[in-house]
Amino acid sequence: MDSRRLISTPFTSSSTADDVLADHDLTGVRAIVTGASSGLGAETARALTAAGAEVTLAVRNTAAGDAVADTIRESTGAVRPRAVPLDLADRGSVARFVDAWSGPLHLLVNNAGVVTGGLERTHEGWELQFATNHLGHFALATGLHHALARGAADRDGARIVSVSSTAHMRSGVDFDDLHFERRAYHPQIAYAQSKTANSLFAVEATRLWASDGIVANAVNPGGVATGLQRNFTPEQQASLDAAEAAGVFTYKTLEQGSATTVVAAVAPEFAHSGGHYLDDGQEARTVPDDADLARHPHGVKEWALDPATAERLWTVSAELLGTS
């Protein structure tokens, strides 16, 4: 395991996004937040807008996105964000979003996520959680690479924030059966695989793009009650309740849950340092792959940061999307 000194910040589990942004003027920063029609995405977008950023809400439901944009405008008095359609499970939708983007991009927050109660597939036959949570964001980020590079050139760096989860500790990436074509389907394992992939993306994106001034970091927002849980089966809810009872996590508010995302987005400690996994505003300690979640609730497993695995996942993802 890595014995180097971990990157720390002044922020904690009780910090809010507004706390993190208190001394930041984001005027001129162009940001995209996926999944910003509710929950953590909406709060992240609100906080960034309040600090002066020009924010685009990338959402499946543009009516809900417009309602959030109106609320942000009314509550902050800042320039109203724009809501643009994006369905991460639809390659055509991602391509249209990328093609419509013009000018530099300084911050990409890959926040959107889906949880399913059973096996669902895209029209390509891909398992929906992996396709949405990882492949869709991979296609979006790689499609916007040149915009991010332009953003990095005019503001001394661009950043990508990849929203992962403690759930990554349940599973690595099964390259032999990414889409559950042979193994029995377990929605929690599928979700865990996608969240590990979110972290691995940050590792390889930083390796490939740091020379362009782009860094990517993964974050764990912690336990937050959002619409993500609406599709939970009784088994999934029971597992979540058991984890809470065991002290694996304590529920945060939306304002607290979005804080670590904003740390990765603006904190000077991560301006030129990527490939990390943050928890409660700090870089998390790496733990062995067989570590028990209850004993290491704020750790990150080795399989989520392994450079060789990250490189392999990037190659496989590009091949699946036909961009290799």
Q: Which of 122, 294, 108, 280 is nearest to 201 (CA)?
A: 108
Instruction: Quote the distance between the C-alpha of residue 282 and its chain's center.
Output: 16
CA distance from start to end of the chain: 31
Residue of 185, 191, 251, 277 marked catalytic: 191
Half-sphere exposure of 50 (CA within 13 A, CB side): 19
Quote the CA–CA distance of 262 and 274 in Å, as a whole number: 14
Within 10 angstroms of residue 7's Cβ, the number of other Cβ atoms is: 15
Instruction: Quote the distance between the C-alpha of residue 72 and its chain's center.
Output: 21
Half-sphere exposure of 10 (CA within 13 A, CB side): 10
* Residues ≥6 apart with Cβ < 8 Å to 309: 172, 173, 200, 303
Q: Which of 235, 198, 2 is nearest to 109 (CA)?
A: 198
Within 10 angstroms of residue 154's Cβ, the number of other Cβ atoms is: 13
φ, ψ for residue 302 (rounded to 5)?
A: -55, -35
Based on C-alpha coordinates, what's the Rg of the chain? 18
User: Could you tell me which residues are beta bridge partners of residue 71?
Assistant: none
Quote the CA–CA distance of 69 and 81 in Å, as a whole number: 5
Quote the CA–CA distance of 83 and 57 in Å, as a whole number: 5
Active site residue 251: no
Catalytic positions, please? 191
